Amino acid sequence: MSISACLEKFLNKKFSNQDVQEQMGSALKSYLAYYNDDSVRENAASGGVVSGILIELLKNKTIDGALVCYTQVINNKVTAIYKIAETIDEITKASGSKYVESSFAKDAWPLIDKYKGNLAIVALPCDLTFLKHKINKNKNLKNRIIISIALLCGHNSNSTLINTLTKKLAKGKDTPLQKYTFRKGHWRGQLEANFEDGSTITKPFSYFSIYQNLFFFPCSKCLYCNDHFGFDADISVGDVWSYDLKQSNIKTCGITLKNKKVLKLLDKTLQSSAFTINTIDHLKILEGQKRSAPFHFNISARHKAGKLFSIKIPDKVGKKVKWHEYLCAVIVLFNWRWSKSKKYSKLIFKMPRIILKCYLYLFKGLESLK
């Protein structure tokens, strides 16, 4: 057995059905799946499942369009833009993870409000909570939103992080950045920067994620959130980081159906020949997020640690905080404060990678404790 497998077994957390209910919310049915179309999976981060669902719903005319998020590059800076995709090509072009801040209320909501056809919505958990408040006041809009899909989210990063890294990637090049892909390929994957002269720079995803996982430059609102799986979504979709799945040639994705209204619709879609799918226990989904999901949910730890930094974070769950959970929260809030410092934040990118890795191992080790 490899070292990774041994660590996986040793640090494996055991969850209960109560944990599922608390952290995942409503959970009616869970699957591991991937979309069978290789061309769609090529640029997708998690088996092409979200793109596949949207494509199949569009093909059978269940929806007229889907709200999706793209990235665009202007002056070597990566920004997020929302669009209602109405063709398979538009859906495919929006595939892949986006780890950059966006304003759902400002940019996405007006598109949804004005659209007259039937819609699928793909968004982060916090954005779907905002959407729920909006559609509860508008019965007509509620009927037009056929399905809402939450992307599993530990937290999002503000633009400073990605723009600093893309600037480093473009250093020494005489041609501007044309396209940036956060993550593609199997398992953790790679990031890819494409330039106008046709050249490409590829880096391990950790080139970006080592900062993101340590909560350097997180969006401030994420510190106040405890919704990892999308409490207000119809389904949630995201990675299942389990050692046995790493051995598979094709990356699979975890799917949890959360709403009876869409259970029959999605069951029929997912059980079609377009997907390869296996029914699993909800615990498998939670175990696949065994570090980030419990930390994200346990806002009690950030509430307690916030007192050290004079940050008032409301405690929404009232959990007893263990010493290692408290220490994790202190690290996160310290790194957030450090990121906001105009004087010292540049030092973050000057730290040797070996120091960052040791720091991350410490943080992830604390997260893994039971």
What's the pLDDT score for residue 237?
93
What's the pLDDT score for residue 187?
65
Answer for the pair 172, 179: CB distance below 8 angstroms, yes or no. Answer: no
Angle at 90 between CA 89 and CA 96, to 5 degrees: 100
With a CB cutoff of 8 Å and minimum separation 6, the contacts of 198 are none
Backbone φ and ψ for 207, nearest 5 degrees, come out as -55, -35
What is the spatial distance between Cα 150 and Cα 364, in angstroms, rounded to a whole number? 24
- Tell whether 258 is covered by a domain: yes
- Assign 169 to helix, strand or coil: helix
Answer for the pair 135, 197: CB distance below 8 angstroms, yes or no. Answer: no
307 and 228 in one domain? no
What is the spatial distance between Cα 12 and Cα 7, in angstroms, rounded to a whole number? 8
272 and 178 in one domain? yes
- Tell whether 10 is covered by a domain: no
- Tell whether 235 is covered by a domain: yes
CA-based max dimension of the chain: 56
What's the pLDDT score for residue 3?
44
Mean pLDDT, consecutive 10-residue segments, the chain of 370 residues?
48 78 92 89 80 94 95 85 95 84 93 95 95 88 92 91 88 84 74 88 90 95 95 92 74 90 85 89 90 93 96 93 96 96 93 96 90
What's the pLDDT score for residue 94?
87
Q: Which two tokens stand for residue 334?
A: 């310290």
- Tell whether 6 is covered by a domain: no
318 and 283 in one domain? no
Looking at 232, 267, 288, the residue that finishes a domain is: 288
Q: Which two tokens stand for residue 261?
A: 């209204």
What is the spatial distance between Cα 75 and Cα 176, in angstroms, rounded to a whole number? 7
149 and 87 in one domain? yes
- Tell whether 278 is covered by a domain: yes
302 and 283 in one domain? no
72: left (phi over 0), alpha (psi -120 to 50) or beta: beta
Domain count across the chain = 2
191 and 117 in one domain? yes
Angle at 129 between CA 126 and CA 132, to 5 degrees: 155
27 and 50 in one domain? yes
Q: Which two tokens stand for residue 181?
A: 């892909």
Nearest CA to 120 out of 35, 190, 184, 62 is that of 62
- Tell whether 161 is covered by a domain: yes
Looking at 235, 268, 288, the residue that finishes a domain is: 288
Burial 91-107 (b: 16+ CB within 10 A, else e): bbebbbbbbbbbebeee
- Tell whether 3 is covered by a domain: no
* CA 112, 118, 121, 127 torsion-angle sign: positive
140 and 273 in one domain? yes
Answer for the pair 48, 41: CB distance below 8 angstroms, yes or no. Answer: yes
What's the pLDDT score for residue 2?
47
Whole-prediction pTM:
0.91
333 and 218 in one domain? no
Which run of H or of E encompasses 285?
Answer: helix 282-287
Looking at 288, 306, 332, the residue that finishes a domain is: 288
216 and 324 in one domain? no
59 and 198 in one domain? yes
Answer for the pair 239, 252: CB distance below 8 angstroms, yes or no. Answer: no
225 and 344 in one domain? no
Q: Which domain does 85 fall in, by range?
A: 17-288
What is the spatial distance between Cα 122 and Cα 67, in angstroms, rounded to a whole number? 6
- Tell whether 1 is covered by a domain: no
CB atoms inside a 10 Å sphere around CB 70: 16
With a CB cutoff of 8 Å and minimum separation 6, the contacts of 322 are 369
Length of the chain: 370
Beta strands in 205-340, from DSSP E residues, in sequence order: 235-238, 253-257, 275-280
Q: Tokens 């982060």 belong to which residue?
A: 124
Nearest CA to 91 out of 58, 62, 114 is that of 58
